[in-house]
């Protein structure tokens, strides 16, 4: 649990950071809160020769409202998300989800960017971002791209982020006032990745689901958007038969790995249970 040798860099501008990442290419890794990369380095599963610390980049921090969107700097910590009035008012599901990420110590250091950028399927925020239909701003030496979250995740630890690019902003459209939301996460203990988790954002009209989106955590190589399941519940009052169908539709797209959290069969089953429970709870808080 001792990392190999590396050079430490602490750029103060985005341009410098991008340049360092470009210059060193595959030998460099950006460092956000350090809660994914540092453990990997201690196990020597990651052995970057250059560590580009993003802590000094003030431009990557903060939460603000821009028209009908919330813009979050990727270096914003989970703790800052939890403390933000903007988040708890406009994106309460993020508040709820951040509370079930690891423990307070980790949340003081761990950032939302670190959680979403590297494509770790165990992390909670990617499924939230999918459910909320976020857009990531990626800055490279030559161009700045806005990439939809739904195009970002390509496989476990594979994303649309090109070598030499840094994520600089996360833009989330604000869901309608009175929307229902829930993040149901089953985990073995505090600090663990989800055995299965489901995020739901929905709106209700006359007791029936008007719009719905469902995201799934740690049930495949990437976070998933359960589109069929979401489609199935629209226009219904979430009766038991519909919930059952929605769970089954969600389970159909899951392909979790068997691990200490349980065999595949179990993880899919509880994935379905989380979907049904999140739908019900989201509907109960919608107005």
In the complex, the residues that contact another protein under the rule CB under 8 A are: 1-5, 44, 103, 186, 188-193, 195, 259-263, 266-267, 269-270, 273
Minimal distance, residue 152 CB to another protein, in Å: 26
Minimal distance, residue 2 CB to another protein, in Å: 4
Is the CA virtual torsion 265, 271, 275, 280 positive or negative? Answer: positive
Residue 191: left if φ>0, alpha if ψ -120 to 50, beta else—which one? Answer: left
Minimal distance, residue 47 CB to another protein, in Å: 9
Of 181 and 193, nearer to another protein (C-beta) is: 193
Of 16 and 192, nearer to another protein (C-beta) is: 192
Of 25 and 104, nearer to another protein (C-beta) is: 104
Taking the C-alpha atoms of residue 114 and residue 272, their distance in angstroms, rounded to an integer, is 28
Of 188 and 208, nearer to another protein (C-beta) is: 188
Of 174 and 264, nearer to another protein (C-beta) is: 264
Minimal distance, residue 260 CB to another protein, in Å: 4
Taking the C-alpha atoms of residue 99 and residue 287, their distance in angstroms, rounded to an integer, is 23
Q: Which contiguous run of DSSP H or E holds residue 131?
A: helix 125-132
Secondary structure of residue 173 in the 3-state scheme: strand
CB 59 within 8 A of CB 89: no
Minimal distance, residue 44 CB to another protein, in Å: 7
Q: Among 219, 231, 209, which Cα is nearest to 184's?
A: 219
């Amino acid at each position: 649990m001792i990392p190999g040798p590396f050079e430490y860099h602490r750029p103060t501008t985005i341009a410098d950071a991008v340049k360092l990442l470009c210059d060193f290419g595959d030998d460099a890794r950006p460092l956000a809160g350090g809660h994914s990369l540092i453990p990997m380095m201690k196990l020597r599963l990651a052995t970057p020769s250059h560590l580009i610390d993003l802590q000094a980049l003030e431009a990557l921090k903060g939460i603000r409202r821009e028209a009908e969107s919330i813009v979050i700097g990727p270096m914003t910590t989970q703790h800052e998300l939890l403390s933000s009035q903007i988040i708890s008012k406009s994106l309460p599901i993020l508040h709820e989800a951040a509370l079930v990420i690891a423990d307070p110590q980790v949340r003081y250091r761990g950032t939302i960017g670190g959680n979403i950028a590297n494509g770790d399927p165990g992390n909670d925020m990617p499924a939230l971002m999918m459910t909320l239909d976020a857009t990531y701003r990626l800055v490279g030496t030559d161009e700045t791209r806005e990439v939809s979250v739904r195009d970002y995740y390509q496989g476990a630890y594979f994303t649309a982020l090109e070598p030499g690019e840094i994520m600089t902003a996360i833009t989330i459209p604000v869901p309608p006032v009175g929307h229902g939301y829930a993040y149901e996460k089953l985990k073995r203990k505090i600090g663990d990745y989800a055995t299965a988790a489901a995020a739901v954002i929905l709106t209700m009209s006359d007791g029936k689901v008007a719009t719905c989106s469902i995201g799934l955590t740690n049930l495949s190589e990437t976070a998933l958007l359960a589109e069929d399941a979401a489609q199935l519940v629209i226009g219904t009052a979430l009766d038991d038969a519909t919930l059952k169908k929605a769970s089954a539709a969600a389970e159909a797209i899951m392909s979790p790995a068997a691990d200490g959290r349980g065999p595949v069969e179990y993880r899919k089953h509880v994935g379905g249970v989380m979907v049904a429970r999140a739908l019900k709870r989201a509907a109960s808080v919608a107005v």
